[in-house]
């Protein structure tokens, strides 16, 4: 069922759990995410990145995900992940995305604020929620290096939220995309950020984090957890294995991908404590 990101994230914030935000690129991954959430009665966010939109087409991927959400039995949200400029965010809003991220974290503070303010003004006019990020994750979408890691400054985060009126905030506390080895987050820094920011906090690049780190992050204010790399890994592993058994039937291959991804999504839903919250 269609839900609003503000509603499910604020509920998670109050309930002491996190909502899983899982990235998709196609029909099978989308089905896997929805079916896993339905089986565990969990709210869920389904995300598409600009590269997913480039791969599948904006109208096509929007239609796939939106149809799955409309027909689902659990609260679900379609979200644009890591929109890098005003144009891609506007396109997503105009076609019907109810939740978007504008990621200008590689810009300086003033430029970041200016771009986010512009996006928020347009999005809020259309009833769309906005996520943004303060502090930079050195490894960007799909683990591609974008620059140096810059941890989120708690006071600057509070000022950023005050100036931009964003609905949720991604933070940089040691997390990184691509599940790098020895990924570790700074819980003390997160506590300081939480003490100054009262909107829902988001953690990107979570595929490499331990269960302990995830639990500590949730305990200290994170209520949206993004997972992409482990979905990709599960998909590739499933393809390789199934191709040995069914080299001439791509439907069997994609069906196995769907089942493997369902397992990944269900595992994270349980870790995040969002099962039975839908």
Establish whether 94 is a catalytic residue.
no
Contact 19, 8 (CB under 8 A): yes
Which one of 81, 103, 167, 275 is the catalytic residue? 81
Q: From the DSSP assignment, how many helices (H) and strands (E) are in the chain? A: 11, 8
Q: What is the largest CA-CA distance in the chain?
A: 57
Beta strands (DSSP E) in 28-158 are 44-48, 76-83, 99-102, 129-134
- Mention every residue, 6+ apart, whose C-beta is less than 8 A from residue 44: 19, 20, 21, 22, 33, 34, 36, 37, 74, 75, 76, 77, 265, 269, 274, 278
The residues that are catalytic are 81
């Amino acid at each position: 069922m269609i839900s609003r990101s503000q509603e499910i994230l604020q509920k998670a914030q109050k309930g002491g759990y996190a909502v899983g935000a899982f990235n998709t690129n196609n029909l099978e991954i989308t089905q896997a995410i929805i079916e896993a959430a339905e089986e565990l009665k969990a709210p869920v966010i389904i995300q598409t990145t600009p590269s997913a939109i480039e791969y599948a087409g904006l109208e096509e991927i929007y239609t796939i995900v939106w149809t799955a959400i409309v027909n689902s039995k659990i609260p679900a949200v379609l979200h644009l992940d890591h929109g890098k400029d005003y144009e891609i965010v506007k396109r997503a809003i105009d076609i019907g995305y109810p939740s978007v991220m504008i990621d200008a974290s590689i810009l300086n503070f003033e430029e970041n604020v200016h771009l986010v303010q512009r996006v928020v003004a347009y999005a809020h006019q259309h009833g769309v929620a906005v996520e943004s990020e303060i502090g930079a994750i050195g490894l960007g979408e799909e683990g591609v290096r974008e620059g140096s890691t810059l941890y989120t400054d708690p006071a600057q985060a509070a000022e950023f939220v005050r100036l931009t009126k964003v609905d949720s905030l991604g933070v940089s506390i040691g997390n990184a995309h691509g599940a790098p080895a020895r990924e570790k987050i700074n819980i003390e820094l997160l506590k300081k950020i939480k003490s100054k920011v009262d909107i829902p906090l988001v953690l990107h690049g979570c595929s490499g984090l331990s269960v302990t780190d995830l639990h500590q992050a949730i305990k200290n204010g994170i209520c949206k957890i993004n997972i992409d790399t482990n979905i990709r890994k599960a998909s590739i592993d499933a393809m390789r294995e199934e191709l040995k058994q069914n080299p001439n039937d791509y439907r069997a291959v994609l069906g196995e991908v769907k089942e493997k991804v369902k397992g990944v999504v269900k595992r994270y839903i349980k870790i995040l404590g969002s099962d039975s919250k839908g």
